Amino acid sequence: MTETGNGGAFPELFEVARDYAQGDHVHQVQALRVIAAAYLPMYQAPPLSDAREVVEGVLTRNGFLLTNPETGGIEPSSVDAVVSVATSRLDEEDLGWGAACLMGMMDALRQRAQDEGYETFVLDAQEVLDGLETILAADIVEDVIEEAIDEALEGEDL
The verdict on residue 37 lying in a domain is no
- CB-based contacts of 55: which residues, under 8 Å, 6+ apart? 21, 32, 35, 81, 82, 85, 101
The verdict on residue 71 lying in a domain is yes
pTM, two decimal places: 0.86
The verdict on residue 100 lying in a domain is yes
For 108-125, give one letter per residue: b (16+ CB within 10 A) or e.
bbeebeeeeeeebeeebb
**Does residue 49 sit in helix, strand or coil?**
coil
Q: The domain containing residue 120 runs over which residues?
A: 51-157
**Range with lowest mean pLDDT among 119-123, 130-134, 136-140, 150-154:** 150-154
The verdict on residue 74 lying in a domain is yes
Question: What is the residue-averaged pLDDT of the chain?
Answer: 89
The verdict on residue 42 lying in a domain is no
The verdict on residue 1 lying in a domain is no
The verdict on residue 134 lying in a domain is yes
Nearest alpha carbon to residue 50 among 65, 29, 35: 35
Instruction: Give per-residue pLDDT as tens, 58-99.
Output: 999 999 999 999 988 999 999 999 999 999 988 899 999 999
